A and B are shown apart, each in its own frame.
Chain A
Amino acid sequence: MKRSPLELSNTNIQKRHRKARMFRLLCAGVTWLGAALLAILLIQITLDGIKWLDIQFLTSFPSRFPYKAGVKSALVGTLWLITMIAIVSIPIGVATALYLEELSHKGRIAKIVEVNIANLAGVPSIVYGIIGLAIFVRGLGFERSLVSGALTMSLLILPVIIIASREAIKTVPMSIRHAAYALGATKLQTAWAHVLPASFPGILTGVILALSRAIGETAPLIMIGALTYVAFLPEGPMDSFTALPIQIFNWVSRPQQEFHELAAGGIIVLLVVLLTMNATAIFIRHKTEKKLQ
């Protein structure tokens, strides 16, 4: 008997459809697993820490007594740190990316630099801590200051910023550069006026990812000797400091249950800072992208 070509009992097609469905289910499952784990984590933290979150928590220095302890110095230290990291790493990172992509003669040396930057992005953060300790704390005599911390963290995230910025710069169409060159523009003028603005949204994304990494890093700061008990606020870049991850680490490593809950409170504060940064970046990116269209 001859089967109609459109008959649904065509087993081959059904098999293929089944495979597609299964694959989609698998992908969906993995996606939701990740989201669910994150949600559980967030809920757990919130349940633990929420009752400690009040103005007193934000405006108190650390203390031996849990009900008196707060994150004031750690929060201010983190804000100082992130600002200084941004000031140091963004110009250097973006300028490097611009040089490698637009201005350098693409020879062997550029290739070697390129491979090594990719390698640096994979170096464990504790190693950067050791470098920071040797160079900034001891070698240059910056002591255990914000400067040492910010410079060390900048080293850590520079590869990320450079790689992300280069990718963003690569997406700018060649035709825009040619249009500028044909008007008698130099490479620098072209890069500054057209390539950089057009790649700004992508660069911003990379910068925020990198700063988010820096804000959560603990190991390098411990290595360079950021203090865990700081009962004063840093007044300048040469002051010693503490930061949120260090304060959290310190609380977690104490035996008392109350301090564990304080740590959860600290984590919430850290997440809020992080999300605020990301939200600001997305907002700016959205605005600039709209302006370009």
Chain B
Amino acid sequence: MSYETIVGLEIHVELSTLGKMFCRCKNPTLADKPNTTTCPTCLGLPGALPYTNQQAIDSCVKIALALGCKINKDSFFERKNYFYPDLAKGFQTSQFLHPFGEHGKLEIEVNGTKKTIGITRVHMEEDTGKLTHSRLDGKDVSLIDFNRSGVPLVEIVTEPDIRSGEEAKEFLTRLQRIIRYLNVSDADMEKGHMRLEPNISLRKPGETKLPKYKVEVKNINSFKFVDKAIKYEQKRHEQLLEEGETPTQETRGWNEFKNKTVSQRSKEEAHDYRYFPEPDIPPIEFTDSQIEILQTQIPELPDERRKRLAKDYGIKNLDAEILTREKAQADYFEDMVEIGKRHGIKATKIASYLINKKVDVKDTPPASVIKQIVEEENIETIDDSKLEQAISEVFEQNIQAVKDYKSGKNQVIGFLIGMVKRALPEAKDNDQIRKKLTEMLE
């Protein structure tokens, strides 16, 4: 029997704010030595209290707005109570009842089919410390680094609208682009800025209700692994269902070396987090004008921009898609188009140049690339008869090469071009020489 796969995603995004979520410590980088960017608040010392970082709240609201969420004007933080050695206070300051954003959506396209994925919620919370299990002086030890403790974290939860690993990957790719466009996080997977948790279950075709179970795969750090984990789980569930069993509701982890998921925690150990409103932080209220101001700070997002570039500049849809993957690249393209106008260079030419030559947009000024294009366009062609004469001479001197070409060794053309250029130094346009050479070799 073929089954339908039901996937919902939970994504944690570490924000790139200057400071931490509830204290004045700097938001650390991986280069900081362990436990050097800490204070009483993020260490959870007695008497320490949280003080909210407005930049982080604004960033979270921007993500929510970019995903089309409704912003809760009356929101508050809540305590999520659980014990873990990396959780300094014994609770995580998070949001439960009233996340900053709810009911959003994001459109994806897989194999030419468009689809809308619902966004359940976008909320603000703080990261935990980091546990490392290692050996020290011959003993097994667990080390805690609290640098990450209190780093602002945005959690994005989707509706169970995703049906395949490909869809999940596409959704994540688009989400990552949006977050980068907003400039609220580097969203660098390798640095753990984005952590992914798919919830997977299978149902019989035609069923409309959600399956009675779901399996959560925790803390995956690449889109490829999300795809693989979903595919692995699909097979595993299918096998169990075929045998008449229901897969166990549990949390599993992705093992990238074994290419499989492994069971971590079953439902029996599920937590009761005892959420309640965080009494140390007053409720967070937004006015319409505050939301409007944040809305104006949101740049044109990748999807709209792709459409506009294709329409306004007449470039290919695929080119527009490639150019808008990163905001810097798209900005660069539009800067070049502006300069190119003065030199009569078309947007389509610029688009293909940028894509094919893989221009380093960080370190090359757009004007210098335009200059390069202009130079290449202006390469003088020379008189055909002069060229023909030179080519004839080259043929006479390189009979073997001509023979080789005729027997199918096309690569000798490069050698012949070189010989022509040596015989006729004013011939500079490779394309012209190549064209003439092939003509005369036929």
Asked if A and B bind, the verdict is no
Interface residues of A (CB under 8 A from B): none
